[in-house]
């Protein structure tokens, strides 16, 4: 459950900053790699956040790539 909360916090950070370089380093590839399957432009955060495929892929990736300390 704590990991899900941390993943949500990373998504919130992206939405607020709209700059992936501000995200934890371990999560950056997760956001970048999932764009291709989302059907969205990488700068269209509204589209990305509404894409359940994108959100699911990023969440799964972050859970595997990052430790709680990273987030």
CB 34 within 8 A of CB 52: no
Residue 44 is assigned to a ligand binding site: yes
Mean of the per-residue pLDDT values for the chain?
Answer: 77
Which pLDDT band holds residue 1 (cuts at 50, 70, 90)? very low
Instruction: Return the axis-axis angle of helices 2-17 and 52-65, rounded to nearest 10°.
Output: 120
Sequence spans of domains, the chain: 2-65
pTM (two decimals): 0.71
pLDDT at 36: 87
10-14, 18-22, 32-36: range with lowest mean pLDDT: 10-14
Ramachandran class of 44: left when φ > 0, alpha when ψ lies in -120 to 50, beta otherwise: beta
Res 2 pLDDT > 70: no
Q: Is the pLDDT of residue 60 over 70?
A: yes
């Amino acid at each position: 459950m704590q990991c899900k909360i941390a993943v949500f916090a990373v998504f919130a950070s992206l939405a607020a900053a709209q700059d992936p370089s501000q995200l934890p380093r371990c999560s950056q590839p997760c956001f970048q790699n999932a764009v291709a399957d989302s059907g969205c432009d990488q700068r269209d955060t509204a589209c990305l956040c509404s894409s359940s495929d994108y959100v699911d892929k990023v969440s799964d990736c972050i859970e595997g790539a990052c430790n709680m300390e990273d987030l």
